Amino acid sequence: MRVLGACVALLSISSILAQPVAQDQHVLLTNENHDQVLNSATVVFVAFCAEWCPFSRRLRPVWEETARVFKREHPDKSAVFAIVDSVAHADVADRYFVNKYPTMKYWVNGELVTKEYRGTRSVDALTTHVLEQLSTAMNEFPSQEYIDTHLDRSKRNVLVYTKDRNSAAFSNLKKAAMILREDCSFWVSDPALAAPSGADIQGNMISFVDPDTGDHQQYTMSMENYDLMKQWLTDKCIPLVREVTFENVEELTEEGLPFLIFFRDVNNKEHDKMFTDAVVRELYDIKGAVNPLFADGKKFAHPLRHLGKTQKDLPVLAIDSFQHMFLFPDMSQVSTPGKLRQFVEDLNSGKLHKEFHESLDQKMMDLAKFKSENGIEEEHEQDGDARPGGQGPPGHRPKTDPPPSVFKELKPSGKRYSLLMKQEL
């Protein structure tokens, strides 16, 4: 009977896996049907849940209802809603480094989009998100004059000239644009518009408009090579030094790398260029050591105060290791060859923390000497926190640690997620 029961169970599992993905309800994603599900629709929206997680239990009925409503109201749209039981199928969750529940990721044309969904957990909001991903990622322009007047040059823009929107080259471009829609604005010409000089023999051309210089940088390789073209677009659309905002800081903390934060006046582009050039020159081969970021010194005034700085001190450079914050000692040396690299290497070697305590030991000796010379008793000591940055007047006890991390407080909230205790941050 046990053998027969096992055979029946195997037959049932096989028949389930052999079934096509049903698009009128949610799908249970497992390691066995993984590839089939993720390639079954233009957009596949996946919720990684755990039964023990209260937030997952609240999301599940909403997710299932969204799948039903979406199929009923948008029967012609290619989308699938899937759920991963991350306890029963931990291998799938581990494959995507899931460290909180629920985590909502989505795939477009079989490719994982790096940004997670972190919005409202309602039928309307989830539906809207999928419809946005299914919508065209391109704006159309009828003339060069239209581009001149409508292009937001503060953003990263890609201009596409093409004669044949049914070609394999244009199909590749549409796929890449759907993946990068949140990083670049894509503009495609009216097919009737004359191809500019520099277009290939088919009349195709891709040009990236640099938001800092206004220069047009042309893609010169084959548009029929999807991987090559997508990598070029990714390099242009996602800068080496990104901007941290209150909207994206949560996802940036989840990347797990210490923040190398350049607090600055957003209107001073020369400072932006100085820092970017230093990062490119000094950190090109150790990109995985830190996460270089711009921060608006006005909006992020609290971390500045934490460092004993104000907007008058901008620009300010610091590392937030998610345990402590370390200040770059001399801003006049940011562009000095080797200085920025040494700062980052000193973090990784533990030297920054060691030097802080060596400096502290000297301050404590100076304090003891001052007390002895001035007859100050222990009970009259005051905490060094009396002034910003912990630097009090003589007779005050210095702080015993670097300022604690501010940005670790902006990680995913325990009020929205069940957080797994991993040593990422």
What's 40's domain CATH number?
3.40.30.10
Q: What is the mean pLDDT of residues 90-109?
A: 97
Q: Which two tokens stand for residue 233?
A: 């677009």
As for how many domains the chain has, the answer is 3
Q: What confidence category does residue 416 fall into, taking pLDDT thresholds of 50, 70 and 90?
A: very high
3-state SS, one letter per residue, for the chain: CHHHHHHHHHHHHHHHHHCCCCCCCCEECCCCCHHHHHCCCCEEEEEEECCCCHHHHHHHHHHHHHHHHHHHHCCCCCEEEEEEECCCCHHHHHHCCCCEECEEEEEECCEECCCCECCCCCHHHHHHHHHHHHCCCEEEECCHHHHHHHCCCCCCEEEEECCCCCCHHHHHHHHHHHHCCCCCEEEEECCCCCCCCCCCCCCCEEEEECCCCCCEEECCCCCCCHHHHHHHHHHHHCCCCEECCCCCHHHHHCCCCCEEEEEECCCCHHHHHHHHHHHHHHCCCCCCCCEEEEEECCCCHHHHHHCCCCHHHCCEEEEECCCEEEECCCHHHCCCCCHHHHHHHHHHHCHHHHHHHHHHHHHHHHHHHHHHHHCCCHHHCEEHHHCHHHCCCCCEECCCCCCECCHHHHCCCCCCCEECCCCCC
Same domain, 59 and 144: no
Q: What confidence category does residue 377 fall into, taking pLDDT thresholds of 50, 70 and 90?
A: low
Please name which of 244, 184, 193 lies closest in space to residue 211, comparing C-alpha atoms: 184
Domain containing 183 equals 138-237
Same domain, 283 and 256: yes
- Taking the C-alpha atoms of residue 290 and residue 62, their distance in angstroms, rounded to an integer, is 38
Q: What is the mean pLDDT of residues 214-237?
A: 95
Residue 25 lies in a domain: yes
- pLDDT, tens digit (0-9, with 9 covering 90-100), for 396-410: 544 546 789 999 999
Q: What confidence category does residue 239 fall into, taking pLDDT thresholds of 50, 70 and 90?
A: very high
**Predicted local confidence at residue 355, as pLDDT:** 63
**Predicted local confidence at residue 14, as pLDDT:** 35
Same domain, 120 and 151: no
**Predicted local confidence at residue 3, as pLDDT:** 37
Same domain, 92 and 214: no
Same domain, 317 and 254: yes
pLDDT greater than 50 at residue 390: no
**Predicted local confidence at residue 317, as pLDDT:** 98
Same domain, 397 and 331: yes
**Predicted local confidence at residue 378, as pLDDT:** 54
pLDDT greater than 70 at residue 226: yes
Q: What is the mean pLDDT of residues 188-192?
A: 93
Same domain, 166 and 221: yes
**Predicted local confidence at residue 99, as pLDDT:** 92
Which residue among 111, 134, 157 closes a domain? 134
Q: Which of 16-30, 54-68, 147-161, 365-379 has the lowest mean pLDDT?
A: 365-379
- Mean pLDDT, the chain, as a whole number? 86
What does the buried/exposed string (b/e) look like for 402-421 if buried means 16 or more CB atoms within 10 Å of the residue's CB? bbebbbbeebbeeeebbeee
Q: Which of 76-80, 116-120, 202-206 has the lowest mean pLDDT?
A: 202-206
Same domain, 76 and 150: no
Residue 3 lies in a domain: no
Residue 76 lies in a domain: yes
Q: Decide: 48 and 101 in contact? Cβ < 8 Å.
A: yes
**Predicted local confidence at residue 284, as pLDDT:** 87
Same domain, 123 and 101: yes
Q: What is the mean pLDDT of residues 345-361?
A: 70
**Predicted local confidence at residue 359, as pLDDT:** 53
Which residue among 237, 266, 291 closes a domain? 237
Residue 153 lies in a domain: yes
Residue 34 lies in a domain: yes
Any long-range contacts for 193-200 (C-beta under 8 Å, 24+ apart)?
A: 193/141, 193/142, 193/143, 193/144, 193/161, 195/161, 195/163, 196/161, 199/161
Same domain, 58 and 33: yes
**Predicted local confidence at residue 81, as pLDDT:** 98
Residue 7 lies in a domain: no
- Taking the C-alpha atoms of residue 305 and residue 302, their distance in angstroms, rounded to an integer, is 5
pLDDT greater than 50 at residue 21: no
372 or 419, greater pLDDT? 419
11 or 319, greater pLDDT? 319
Across-strand partners of 205? 161
Residue 8 lies in a domain: no
Q: Decide: 357 and 365 in contact? Cβ < 8 Å.
A: no
Please name which of 399, 380, 245 lies closest in space to residue 308, comparing C-alpha atoms: 399
Share of the chain above pLDDT 90, in %: 72
pLDDT greater than 60 at residue 205: yes
Same domain, 155 and 296: no
**Predicted local confidence at residue 18, as pLDDT:** 37
Q: What is the mean pLDDT of residues 195-212?
A: 88
Residue 10 lies in a domain: no
pLDDT greater than 70 at residue 10: no
Q: What is the pTM of this model?
A: 0.79
**Predicted local confidence at residue 321, as pLDDT:** 94
Which residue among 237, 255, 284 closes a domain? 237
- pLDDT, tens digit (0-9, with 9 covering 90-100), for 130-155: 999 999 889 999 999 999 999 999 89
Q: Which of 153-162, 189-198, 411-420 has the lowest mean pLDDT?
A: 189-198
Same domain, 280 and 343: yes
pLDDT greater than 80 at residue 51: yes
